[in-house]
């Protein structure tokens, strides 16, 4: 998409830390991350299992408390203690789609209830007729038949269930959708369908996405910008094409080297890079978050920065 310079910031995340109390102490799942999401873009957050992606998503939708730092939505602070009114607005305007459509739907409820549950919670379900009309519209929007409203989740395939999950988010009228690995649990054959649906919905409803994935190849063609996260720290952030063309951080390079190439001979000849954190010499001073070129950020110390910008 276009250059990001003049765009409106929908979400601003500053110095976000999330700690969890665990047996024997505290575990820092997110160690101070900074990023903005612009209105209308698809922002990718990519990293291995356990790197803190879901924790960040859950902090944005206020399921996880921020231990430190701040999250702003349209300029207003939404982390920490906030007025009830704003909380209700956030519930509506920031929605999350979950990874596993088999686990995230209430098996004992009909689709009708599942899709409109969020509306009840914010007192916007209206009367029975209005609510049903909203459910039917949401189902149509995600490519399902309105008649499905009377059925139970177990009657649907994985792809259909994920569509139900998407309908449940859309019915709220969100502006920002946190899509947490929305296709990784699905059959390969239907992943593209769900990605295309998300892209269509973005266009028709003017949505902004935070798209979480553990694999750079998944987000390459659908994101405007990508942040790469490793062990609770964002190590690099750039426009998608820039990140693929000029990766700076060794961790990003390792992730890129893991993407399969279509040519089997080239694939066999390819060398997998393994990320070795000991390549950094942070013994004297730790790395800081720096802008290597306009819009391209990397976690680096002085010496690394000099190499990266040479």
Ligand X SMILES: Nc1ncnc2c1ncn2[C@@H]1O[C@H](COP(=O)(O)OP(=O)(O)OP(=O)(O)O)[C@@H](O)[C@H]1O
Select the span of 52-60, 156-164, 222-230, 231-239 touching Mg ion (CB under 5 A).
Answer: 52-60
Q: Which is nearer to ligand X, 185 or 305 (CB)?
A: 185
CB of 186 to Mg ion, least distance (A): 15
Build a one-symbol-per-residue string for 53-82: x at contacts with ligand X by CB under 6 A, - elsewhere. Answer: xxx---------------------------
**CB of residue 221 to Mg ion, shortest distance in Å:** 21
Instruction: Tell which one of 54, 64, 230, 252 touches Mg ion (CB under 5 A).
Output: 54
Return the sign of the alpha-carbon dihedral for residues 226, 181, 75, 12.
negative
Residue facing Mg ion at closest CB distance: 54
51 binds ligand X (CB under 6 A): yes
Q: How far is the CB of 51 from Mg ion (least distance, A)?
A: 8
From candidates 19, 37, 41, 47, binder to ligand X by CB under 6 A = 47
Which residues fall within 8 angstroms of residue 66, CB to CB, at 6 or more apart? 16, 17, 18, 59, 79, 80
C-alpha separations of 284 from 144, 296, 301, 302, 303 in Å: 58, 25, 10, 11, 11
Q: Specify the residue, 54 or 223, whose C-beta has the smaller distance to Mg ion.
A: 54
By a kind-dependent CB cut-off of 5 to 8 A, residue 131 interacts, out of ligand X, Mg ion, none, with none
Residues 72-101 within binding reach of Mg ion (CB under 5 A): none
Of residues 141 and 181, the one with the C-beta less far from Mg ion: 181
282 sits near ligand X (criterion: CB under 6 A): no
The minimum distance between CB 164 and ligand X, in angstroms, equals: 21
Quick one: tokens of 102?
């088999």
Nearest distance in Å: CB 190, ligand X: 20
Q: Does 50 bind ligand X (CB under 6 A)?
A: yes
Q: Does 55 bind Mg ion (CB under 5 A)?
A: no
List the single partner that 252 binds among Mg ion, ligand X, none, CB under 5 to 8 Å by kind: none
Report the nearest approach of Mg ion to the CB of residue 258 (Å). Answer: 18
Output 142 or 226, the one with its CB closest to ligand X: 226
Using the minimum distance from each CB to Mg ion, give the nearer residue, 215 or 301: 215
DSSP letters along the chain, please?
Answer: ---STTPPEEEEEEEEEEEEEETTEEEEEEEEEEEEEETT-EEEEE--TTSSHHHHHHHHTTSSPPSEEEEEETTEE-SSS--HHHHHHHHHHEEEE-S-TTTSS-TTS-HHHHHHHHHHHTT---SHHHHHHHHHHHHHHTT--GGGGGS-GGGS-HHHHHHHHHHHHHTT--SEEEEESTTTTS-HHHHHHHHHHHHHHHHHHT-EEEEEES-HHHHTTT-SEEEEEETTEEEEEEEHHHHHHS--SHHHHHHHHTSPPS-HHHHHHPPPP---GGGS--SSS--EEEEEETTEEEEE-HHHHHHHT-
State which of residues 163, 214, 220, 249 lies at the interface with ligand X (CB under 6 A): 214
- Of 11-30, which residues contact ligand X (CB under 6 A)? 20, 22, 27, 29
* CB contact at 8 A, 46 and 214: yes
> For binding to ligand X (CB under 6 A), which residues are involved?
20, 22, 27, 29, 47, 49-55, 214
> For binding to Mg ion (CB under 5 A), which residues are involved?
53-54
């Amino acid at each position: 998409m276009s250059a990001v310079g003049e765009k409106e910031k929908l979400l601003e995340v500053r110095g976000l830390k999330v700690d969890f109390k665990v047996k024997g102490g505290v575990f820092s799942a997110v160690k101070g991350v900074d990023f903005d999401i612009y209105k209308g873009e698809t922002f990718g957050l990519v990293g291995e299992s356990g790197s803190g992606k879901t924790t960040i998503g859950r902090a944005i939708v206020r399921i996880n408390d921020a231990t430190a730092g701040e999250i702003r939505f349209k300029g207003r602070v939404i982390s920490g203690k906030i007025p009830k009114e704003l909380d209700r607005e956030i519930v509506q305007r920031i929605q999350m789609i979950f990874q596993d459509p088999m686990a995230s739907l209430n098996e004992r409820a009909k689709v009708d209830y599942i899709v409109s549950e969020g509306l009840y919670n914010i007192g916007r379900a209206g009367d029975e007729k209005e609510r049903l009309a909203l459910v039917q519209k949401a189902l149509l929007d995600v490519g399902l038949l309105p008649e499905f409203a009377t059925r139970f989740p177990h009657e649907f395939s994985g792809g259909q269930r994920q569509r139900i999950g998407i309908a449940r988010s859309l019915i709220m009228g969100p502006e920002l959708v946190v899509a947490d690995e929305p296709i990784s649990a699905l059959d390969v054959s239907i992943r593209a369908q769900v990605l295309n649906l998300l892209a269509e919905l973005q266009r028709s409803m003017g949505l902004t996405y935070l798209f979480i994935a553990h694999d750079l190849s998944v987000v390459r063609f659908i994101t405007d910008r990508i942040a790469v996260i490793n062990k609770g720290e964002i190590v690099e952030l750039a426009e998608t094409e820039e990140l693929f063309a000029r990766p700076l951080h060794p961790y990003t390079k390792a992730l890129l080297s893991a993407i399969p190439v279509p040519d089997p001979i080239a694939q066999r000849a390819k060398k997998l890079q393994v990320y070795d954190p000991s390549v950094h010499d942070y013994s004297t001073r730790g790395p800081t978050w720096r802008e290597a070129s306009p819009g391209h950020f990397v976690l680096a110390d002085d010496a690394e920065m000099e190499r990266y910008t040479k």
